[in-house]
Amino acid sequence: MGIVGYGRIGREISRLAEVFGMNVLGVSRSGRPPVDAEKFDTGRRSVAEDRAELFAMDRLDEVLRRSDFLVVVVPLTELTRGMIGAQQLDLLPPGAHVINIARGGIVDESALLERVRDGRIAGVALDVFDDEPLPPTSAWWSEPNALVTPHVAGLAPQYHAQTLDLVVENLTRLAENRPIVNEVDRAAGY
């Protein structure tokens, strides 16, 4: 499983994939675990226990070639907009599956639909789209190899408590002139 966006969510997806015996390839800006990953993870494993093979973004093509399942969880920025297009989808092994729980605009929906229909991509699970809510006329509604959900993948039992903890931590860090956690640097494009 290739996970593009190896922050807190990507690491939890990795943990779950490993339970099923999957080898995980994680892609992040740096190719290293996120700063303060342990403090804001679910507490189910430490960074040292993470068995994923990590890659920097400049090695995305290598990860795609090796991924039977591709999970996209990066933020939408100028650098990630259109990041998974026709060329990237064609690097996936035939019969791969694509899961997009990031944001619409990162995966080229037209290119993805074409590859699902021609059988190159075996199936997709899509929680986000360029146009939300997904119009009733969208081809995705009638695509038999697609699971469509209404942008709810981020909801979890402890979501609000975890978000509040993160806000409090970042306010403390700002007051102390320390780097914040989970920062998306839109000026830098990621």
Per-residue pLDDT of the chain in tens (190 residues, 90 and over written 9): 999 999 888 998 999 999 999 999 999 988 887 655 555 454 555 555 678 999 999 999 999 999 999 999 999 998 899 999 999 999 999 999 999 999 999 999 999 999 999 999 999 999 999 999 999 999 999 999 999 998 887 666 776 677 787 788 888 888 999 888 767 665 555 4
Strands 69-72 and 53-56: unpaired
Instruction: Locate the DSSP E strands across 30-172.
Output: 53-56, 69-72, 96-100, 121-126, 146-148
Residue 169 lies in a domain: no
Catalytic residues: 103, 132, 151
CA distance to 24, 39, 44, 76, 118, per residue, from 129 (Å): 25, 31, 31, 12, 21
Structural domain that includes position 121 = 2-153
pTM assigned to the model: 0.81
CATH code for position 41: 3.40.50.720
Give the chain's domain count: 1
Residue 45 lies in a domain: yes
The DSSP element (H or E) to which 26 belongs, if any, is: strand 25-28
